[in-house]
Amino acid sequence: MSEKKNYVYAFTVGNGKNKQLLGGKGANLCEMTQIGLRVPPGFVITTEACLAYLDQQDFPAGMMEQVQAHLTELEKITAKGFGSAENPLLVSVRSGSAISMPGMMDTILNLGLNSTTLRALIHQTGNERFGYDSYRRFIQLFGKVALGVPDEKFDHQLDEVKKIRGAMSDLDLTSADLEQVASRFLAVIQEHTGRAFPEDPHEQLNIAIRAVFNSWMGKRAVDYRREFKITKDVANGTAVNICTMVFGNMGNDSATGVAFTRNPATGENEFFGEYLVNAQGEDVVAGIRTPKPVAEMKNEMPEIFAQLVELRQRLETHYQEVQDFEFTIEKGILYCLQTRNGKMNAQSMVRTSVEMVQEGLINRERALLRIRPEDLEQLLFPRLDRRAMQVKPIAQGLPASPGAASGQIVFDADRAESQGKLGKKIILLREETKPEDIHGFFAAQGILTSRGGKTSHAAVVARGMGKPCVTGAMAIRVDVQLRKAFIGEQILSEGDLITIDGGSGEVYLGTAPLVEGEFTAELTTLLSWADEIATLQVMANADTPKDAHRARNYGAMGIGLCRTERMFNATDRLPLMVAMIMAENSVERQKYLDQLLPIQRQDFIEVFTVMAPYPVTVRLLDPPIHEFLPSENVLRDEIDNLRNLPATIKGLDQLTDTLRVIDPQLAESAHNSLGTFLAGLHHLCDHTVNQILQEKQNILRKVRETQEINPMLGHRGVRLGITYPEIYQMQIRAVLEATAECVKSGVAVNPEIMVPQVCTAQELDRVRKIVDQVRAEVESAYGFKLQFKFGTMIEVVRACMRANRLAEIAQFFSFGTNDLSQATFSFSREDAENKFLPFYNENGILRDNPFEVLDVNGVGRLMKIAIDGGRSTNPELKVGICGEQGGHPASIRFCQYVGLNYVSCSAPRVPVARLAAAHAKLKEAEFGL
Ligand code: ADP
Ligand code: MG
Ligand code: MG
């Protein structure tokens, strides 16, 4: 059976949709070939072959025979011979898995060259320089990628020859120079591997295929997959693409380049790309020579430019997606060597989505679905505050990936990683970056390079990660050995603070003022399409009028959770709150509650007004009361210090005398500076001190009284409301009077009163009685009826099981999935996240953190029980979620599935949730547990 298995597909045959099998690059090479674009002929070895190879550390049976058969076919098509001394076939060997991982695995070009085929190539083309140029490139790439010889060894030799010849760039080297470079390279290989360079093209191919397969398990690739959670069902193994070489280094009618069908930094519909005349392969990306923008090709090579524009058009029309493609021009003929969906920042994704719909290229659904909801968070990235800027930039580079960031300079990726782990903010500053720097990107706030263009490695990777990046800041000279960077006279050392603006390419010394991102017109349009499609409403958790404003700006359709206790934490309220808690009896407590009432009412009026006509769900007091009191330790220290005050003052009195024994001069200066101060101290009234001491002691007593073994499960939420009904009464009155006030002034309000921590219907019923009583009073005082809803949070396991009873009293449920997850797992969140949860996640005991990602299998089932129970007695029941998971896209899909009416999350996540809600609706049918 396995003998028969097909491991190899020609570009003319392979299924362009099957990226899992052929890798993204291979599948697209097949697809492009089959839609008639000019791709050099070639074939793909499948990812299955890779997995089999990794499994048994050898090629699977039959694979190499198939490779040989396809090679023979290639020879036929191209009329060339692999290893031929007259007309040699040269190929590139390229990796490519289902997910594009920029620069993760390196391509070998010009494979098939050796001393014999080199002569043939030179003879054939009559171009000696080209021959040696190709040869030395091949030796270096093969040496580095397949034989593991460090790149620097080659670079060093090349630099030496350049120096000897006084050459500024590679282009200044003659064919004789390049011949010398090649022979030096061969010596490097001999020296480093202890073996001669393999001359036999078949041996070269064999080694190269192995190297590609092995690179799947290389550290960089493994790290990348871990960081981006690329699991086996997403990408498993790499394919190998064997592709006939075409040459961009055959003279001035040849070139190589990289382009995007639209500008990936802004999303603007303009052709964007860079090319280099007489160059090969990665020259553009590596930033060795500075490439030209494609627009210049219009003048330099007008016919080719027209072809390139046509290629751009055909790619976009076919893929209905912005394409990032690679091309080579050999003697005036344009070849496309690769295409893939363009990686863009969120801003560009949004803009292209909206514009492609307007151009009629895609429909709205596609426009929404092509954007990952979580990526919208990038849009709220900080930018430089231009108006507050005082300083001038110290360097100017290319705006490679937008957003601004400040941090300390670090010159290499390892150090970036270690500093990042310490929690430092870092800017990775390099001459240029390479794939092996990837861990430095993860750790850095931003990336700055002194070389390279907008399609350089640094630019592409940073854009993919949504990190600010400036490339090609040529005024900066980086010296990694010295760990210094030089800009003219200025010297920057490791640890110095700089700021980069990836939107403008500017670099500043020190930290610069940043402003939050804002909504563009395109985002507003896109999210309005999302809102039209979504059936889940997106609300925000917001506690103050200011938060409410922000939530509204983010497009929240109401407040799903307004935590009243946060209102009490402001400095003008906390003393009242503390006094209320300290009250010895309910009469005294009422006195302070009466003072809190107007304050809270005013807060509600403002929040209701900001959100009108959307609903605002007010949660009654939830946390244990001692959270408002100072901590026991602080109090104890304060009390000790107050007690010691007389002794301290006495000590200060004697300080001058004591010092005189030691150092008369010091004593004199103490006397001078302490004199009036001490006089003041003596005026401190014992009575005041004692009074304060007494107060502190009272508070300490109260703190000890209210202390709980397990506050999370203690005297909080509705339990507090039932034992101290006057507190809830005040809050309910504040809500209802605010409602009445709003109605009076013509504001359309939709308040909802929500009770936390309910576990039995009796609790809810008690609170409802308070509501009924206050409502009657307020209605009669104002002379009109009030519209509002009364409901409960569902955050206790018992409440889920008794939801049918609760729904007889409640008009709505709101799942408090933070507490409900704690209760379901019996994990206290802080302890779990600090102690064992990371270990659980890393070792696959739990896949996600249940406090970020809703645990659909456990907590989700409880929710389902609660929803079914609740709607069985109250079909009108409105149900939502207000835990942090309410802003998490995958969790939102579950919420859609179980039939929630709304999700509520923190304000900055509202845009994410709006798009996720549209996705959830569009992909509803695919959802399964
Ligand atoms: P990556 O995944 O790093 O982009 P590629 O396999 O696309 O690697 O190869 C990098 C570059 O090498 C390509 O952009 C192209 O310029 C060059 N290249 C690859 N194969 C060929 C080929 N058959 N002929 C000419 N150039 C090639
Ligand atoms: Mg590359
Ligand atoms: Mg490529």
pLDDT digits (tens, 9 = 90+) for 811-841: 999 999 999 999 999 998 878 877 788 788 8
* Average pLDDT of span 322-326: 96
The answer, yes or no, to whether any atom of ligand 1 lies below 6 A from the CB of 256, is yes
- Per the structure block, which two tokens stand in for 760? 């039995």
Single-letter amino acid code for the residue at 887: G
The answer, yes or no, to whether any atom of ligand 1 lies below 6 A from the CB of 273, is no
Single-letter amino acid code for the residue at 820: L
pLDDT of residue 223: 82
Question: How far apart are alpha carbons 437 and 853 in whole angstroms?
Answer: 30
How is 525-548 classified by DSSP, letter by letter?
HHHHHHHHH--SEEEEE--SHHHH
Distances, alpha carbon 334 to alpha carbons 196, 247, 330, 347, 771, in Å: 36, 10, 7, 32, 77
Whole-model pTM: value is: 0.77
Question: How far apart are alpha carbons 776 and 781 in whole angstroms?
Answer: 9
768 pLDDT above the threshold of 70: yes
Residue with CA at minimum distance from ligand 1 atom 20: 92
- Ligand closest in space to the Cα of 326: 1
The answer, yes or no, to whether any atom of ligand 1 lies below 6 A from the CB of 410, is no
Residue with CA at minimum distance from ligand 1 atom 27: 281
- Per the structure block, which two tokens stand in for 174? 């003659």
Residue with CA at minimum distance from ligand 1 atom 22: 245
790 pLDDT above the threshold of 80: yes
* Average pLDDT of span 133-152: 93
Asked if 344 and 261 touch (Cβ cutoff 8 Å), the reply is no
pLDDT of residue 3: 55
381 pLDDT above the threshold of 80: no
pLDDT in tens, 530-543: 999 999 999 999 88
The label of the residue with tokens 């046509």 reads: 310
The answer, yes or no, to whether any atom of ligand 1 lies below 6 A from the CB of 326, is yes
pLDDT of residue 105: 65
Question: How far apart are alpha carbons 94 and 23 in whole angstroms?
Answer: 11
Residue with CA at minimum distance from ligand 1 atom 26: 281
The answer, yes or no, to whether any atom of ligand 1 lies below 6 A from the CB of 337, is yes
* Average pLDDT of span 429-442: 86
A 10 A CB-CB count for 665 gives: 9
Antiparallel, parallel or unpaired: β 383-384 and 750-755:
unpaired
pLDDT of residue 869: 98
675 pLDDT above the threshold of 80: no
Distance 864 CA to ligand 1 centre (A): 52
The answer, yes or no, to whether any atom of ligand 1 lies below 6 A from the CB of 282, is yes
Distance 834 CA to ligand 2 centre (A): 39
Residue to mutate, 324, 326, 438, 456, ligand 1, most ligand atoms under 8 Å from C-beta: 326
Distance 326 CA to ligand 3 centre (A): 6
Antiparallel, parallel or unpaired: β 426-430 and 446-449:
parallel
Highest averaged pLDDT of the listed ranges 677-691, 822-836, 851-865: 851-865
Per-residue pLDDT band for 660 (boundaries 50, 70, 90) equals confident
pLDDT of residue 928: 78
Per-residue pLDDT band for 104 (boundaries 50, 70, 90) equals low
Ligand 1 atom at minimal distance to the Cα of residue 104: 3
A 10 A CB-CB count for 5 gives: 15
Catalytic, out of 439, 457, 626, 919: 457
Asked if 621 and 757 touch (Cβ cutoff 8 Å), the reply is no
Asked if 470 and 399 touch (Cβ cutoff 8 Å), the reply is yes
SS3 category, 520: coil
B/e letters for 381-415, b = 16+ CB within 10 Å, e = fewer, are bebbeeeeeeeebbbebbbbbbbbbbbbbbbebeb
SS3 category, 264: coil
pLDDT of residue 627: 80
Length of the chain: 929
* Average pLDDT of span 220-235: 85
Ligand 1 atom at minimal distance to the Cα of residue 100: 2
Q: Which residues contact 558 (CB under 8 A, 6 or more apart)?
A: 537, 539, 540, 611, 614, 615, 616, 617, 750, 902, 904
Per-residue pLDDT band for 106 (boundaries 50, 70, 90) equals confident
Question: How far apart are alpha carbons 439 and 452 in whole angstroms?
Answer: 20
The label of the residue with tokens 């043939």 reads: 120
Question: How far apart are alpha carbons 289 and 286 in whole angstroms?
Answer: 8
The average confidence (pLDDT) of the chain is 91
Question: How far apart are alpha carbons 879 and 870 in whole angstroms?
Answer: 9
Of the listed ranges 113-117, 207-211, 286-290, the least confidently predicted one is 286-290
The answer, yes or no, to whether any atom of ligand 1 lies below 6 A from the CB of 215, is no
489 pLDDT above the threshold of 60: yes
Residue to mutate, 337, 434, 438, 460, ligand 1, most ligand atoms under 8 Å from C-beta: 337
In terms of Cα–Cα distance, which of 728, 720, 738, 865 is closest to 807? 865
Catalytic, out of 336, 562, 800, 882: 882
Of 635 and 865, the structure prediction assigns the larger pLDDT to: 865
Q: Is 457 a catalytic residue?
A: yes
Distance 435 CA to ligand 3 centre (A): 13
pLDDT of residue 407: 95
Distance 773 CA to ligand 2 centre (A): 72
Distance 102 CA to ligand 2 centre (A): 6
677 pLDDT above the threshold of 90: no
In terms of Cα–Cα distance, which of 428, 442, 412, 453 is closest to 507? 428
pLDDT of residue 229: 82
Q: Which residues contact 1 (CB under 8 A, 6 or more apart)?
A: none
The helix or strand, by DSSP H or E, that contains position 34, with its residue range, turns out to be helix 19-34
Distance 413 CA to ligand 1 centre (A): 26
Distance 105 CA to ligand 2 centre (A): 7
Per-residue pLDDT band for 908 (boundaries 50, 70, 90) equals confident
Percent with pLDDT over 90 in the chain: 67
Q: Which residues contact 584 (CB under 8 A, 6 or more apart)?
A: none
Of 125 and 209, the structure prediction assigns the larger pLDDT to: 209
Of the listed ranges 138-142, 254-258, 600-604, 670-674, the least confidently predicted one is 670-674
Percent with pLDDT over 70 in the chain: 98
Per-residue pLDDT band for 615 (boundaries 50, 70, 90) equals very high
Residue with CA at minimum distance from ligand 1 atom 2: 103
Single-letter amino acid code for the residue at 445: Q
Residue with CA at minimum distance from ligand 1 atom 16: 281
Per-residue pLDDT band for 288 (boundaries 50, 70, 90) equals low
Question: How far apart are alpha carbons 369 and 357 in whole angstroms?
Answer: 12
429 pLDDT above the threshold of 90: yes
Q: What residues are paired with 10 via a beta bridge? A: 43
The answer, yes or no, to whether any atom of ligand 1 lies below 6 A from the CB of 560, is no
Distance 109 CA to ligand 2 centre (A): 12
- Ligand closest in space to the Cα of 457: 2
H-helix segments, 474-585: 521-533, 545-553, 564-567, 574-582
Residue with CA at minimum distance from ligand 1 atom 12: 281
- Per the structure block, which two tokens stand in for 157? 């030799």
The answer, yes or no, to whether any atom of ligand 1 lies below 6 A from the CB of 94, is yes
